[in-house]
Structure 1
Amino acid sequence: MNHGRDLEQELFRFHFENGNPQNAVALLLRYQGENGGFRNMGEGHSAIPNGIDTSMAFQCLSEVGASSSDEVVQKGMQYIMDSYDHELGCWHPRPNERSKGWTDNPCAELVGFLYEYRDLVPEDFLKDVTEHAIDNMSTIHTSEEPRQFYFLEALSLFRLAIRIDELFKSFILEKLKKDIMEIIETDSSKWSTVYCAKPFFFASSPESPLFLPIKEHVIKSLENEISTQSENGHFILNWNTDEEGAKVWKSIWTMDVLKALKNHKMIDL
C-alpha cells in the first residue's frame, strides 16, 4: 500500500478488506484506450493498447467478477475481436511486434476470456478461434528448447482450459498434466535467481485442477516466497528489468503471491 500501483492496492482491498469489486473495475478504465484495448499493464506497451496487456487486464476483471454488463468488459471484448488478424489467424502480442502466426501467449488466454464473456461474442468467431487454439497447441513443444522455456505459453493454455467448454477443457488439462513436471522448476535454488515457472503459478489455489500432481512443490515454492520476502514487503523478482518495470512488477508479483498464500491458508488473517 506504500509502494504498489493503484490497481494492486484496489485488488488488495478486494481480497483482504472486503473492498467493492466495482472500484477495481472502474480503475481499469484508466488503463483502457479508446479502442477498448488495454495498455500499461506491465507487459506490452505503456501508451498503446495491445493484446498482451489486454489479456492481463482481463485477468483482473475476471478476478473481481466483472460481468458482461460492465462497459469496460464490453469495450474490451470488442477490441479483442477487432484486433484479431484473420489472415494469420492470431493476435499480435505487442504493437511493435508482429507475430508470424499463433502463439499461445497471449492468443490462447484471449480465447479463454472470449469464453468467459461469450454472450458478447458471435458463435462463428468463437468457433474459429477455438479451432486455432486446439490445432496450434500441439506444436508447443516441437522445439529442442527445454520445456521450461514455454511456461508462459503453458500458463496461457491453463487459463484457457479453466474457461473453455468441458470437452476441450479435459483435452488441454491432460496435455498439461502430462508435461507439468517438465514445465515447472522444482529446484528451489533457482526460484529466486532464474526466470522460471514457480510451481504455485499453476496452482495458486488448492482448487486448481493441476494442484494434486505438484502439491509438494507448490507448498515449498510458497514457503520460499515467505522466507525470501524483502524487508519492505515485496516478493523477489527472478528476472532483471529497469527501475520503472521493477516498480510495476513488484506490485503485481506481491499481490499474486499474497492471493496464493491466502488461498492455501498460509496467512493468518
Structure 2
Amino acid sequence: MNLSPGQWKKAKDYVQQNARPLEQKLFNYHFEEGSKDEAIHELSCYQNEDGGFGRSIEPDFRLDSSSPLATTIGLQKAKELKLTASHPIVQKAMNYLQNEYNEENEGWNAVPEKVNSVPHAPWWHFDLERGHCGVQTTWANPNAEIVGYFHRFQPDHPRLKEWTEKAIIELTGLVEPIDMHDFLCYEKLLNEVEGKNKSTLFNILSTNVRKTVCTDPERWNEYVAKPLQVASEPSSPFYEILEDVVQIQLGKELESQHHDGFWQPTWSWFGHYEETWPDAETEWRGILTLEMLKVFKAHHMLVTI
C-alpha cells in the first residue's frame, strides 16, 4: 500500500503551483533537501512586531494582527523546523504569549474581538456577551497547547507549575467524549511534559481516544476527528491504540486524493464571506496536501521522493 509515483507527482505539482510560499518551502525542506532558512523566512512573514503571529497563517480567519491561536500555528511550524528556544522567532512569540495571558480567564483568548471585522469562518466569530469565540467552549483550546509551548521553550517559567496543574484539573473535568480540538490541544501538551504529568495526561487521554476519534470510515468525509489526526506517525503515543483504524484510513486517503493532486478540506464557511472562502480553501488544500504527504512519508508509503 503506497502512494504511486503518479499520485506523488500530482501532489508535488499541486503544492509547488498552488500552495502558499510557506507550504512550498516546507515541502522543499521535507522532501527536496530544500533550505531550512528559506522556510524559516516564510514563517517569519506571518509574525508581527509584537511577536505574535497573524496575517492569515490560520486560513479560516483573515486577521493581520496577532492572536494567541495564530501564534500556536506559528509555534507548530517552529517546532516542525526544529527551532530552539533561543531563536528570535520563538523568543518573540513566547514573549507575546506571556503578555497576552489573561488573569481573569486563567488563560488566553484564542482570538481578539477585532476578528469580527475581517472575513472569518463562523466558528471564529467573537461573541461579545460570552467574551470569546465559538471555538472556545472549554479552557482546553488553545490553552493546553500553549502551556505545552512553555514546557518546550520556557521550562523555567515561574508560573508553569500552576498552569500545568490548571490544565490537568480542566482535563479531568471534561465531558466525554472529549471534543476533537480539546483532545488535540492536550495531545500537544502531552508531547512536551515528562514524569508524573505525562503519565497522568496519557492515562486520561488514552482511555478517551477511541471515544473522541471517529472509527467509522463512512463518516471520514465529515468534519470529525480522524485517526491520523491523533496518530499521524508510528511514534505517536496513541498509535498502538488506533493502529487498526489508522491502517484503514491510510488506504482511504490514497483513494481520496483529488485528480488535481490535492486533499480537500471537509469543511467550508457555510455561506459566510463566500467571496473569500475560495482563497482560504485553496490555502487549506496546500496545507492538507503537505500534511498528508508527511504522513505517508512517516509510514514509508512514498514510492519516490
Take 2:244 and 2:97, find their aligned partners in 1: how far apart are those partners? 37
- Mapped pair 1:195 → 2:223: yes
The percent identity for this pair of structures is 28
Q: Which 10-residue stretch deviates more, 90-99 or 159-168? A: 90-99
- Mapped pair 1:116 → 2:152: yes
Whether contact under 8 Å (2:150, 2:157) holds in the other structure is no
Equivalent position to 1:41, from 57, 65, 76: 57
| SS of equivalent residue, structure 1 residue 19 | coil
Equivalent position to 1:84, from 101, 104, 123: 101
Q: 1:250 to 1:72 in 2, by over 3 A?
A: same
Cα deviation digits, residues 10-45 of structure 1 (max 9, x gap): 111111112232322222111011111101112454
TM-score (structure 2 length as normaliser): 0.81
Letter in 1 for 2:57: M
Cα deviation digits, residues 49-106 of structure 1 (max 9, x gap): 1011111111110011011221111100101111110122010001123338962111
TM-score (structure 1 length as normaliser): 0.92
- Mapped pair 1:95 → 2:112: yes
In structure 1, the partner of 2:116 is none
Whether contact under 8 Å (1:88, 1:101) holds in the other structure is no
In structure 1, the partner of 2:10 is none
Whether contact under 8 Å (2:234, 2:299) holds in the other structure is yes
Question: How many residues end up aligned between the 2 structures?
Answer: 261
| Aligned pairs (5 A) from 1:240-259 | 240-241=268-269, 242-259=277-294
| SS of equivalent residue, structure 2 residue 290 | helix
The higher-RCO structure (CA 8 Å, 6+ apart) is 2
Q: Which 10-residue stretch deviates more, 124-133 or 224-233? A: 124-133
Take 2:175 and 2:36, find their aligned partners in 1: how far apart are those partners? 38
Whether contact under 8 Å (1:8, 1:252) holds in the other structure is yes
In structure 1, the partner of 2:251 is 223
Take 1:89 and 1:236, find their aligned partners in 2: how far apart are those partners? 36
CA shift for structure 1 position 46 = 2.5
In structure 1, the partner of 2:73 is 56
Deviating above 4 A after TM superposition, structure 1's stretches of 4 or more consecutive aligned residues are none
Segments of structure 2 that go 5 or more residues without pairing to the other structure are 1-15, 114-125, 270-276
Segments of structure 1 that go 5 or more residues without pairing to the other structure are none
Q: 1:198 to 1:101 in 2, by over 3 A?
A: closer
| SS of equivalent residue, structure 1 residue 73 | helix
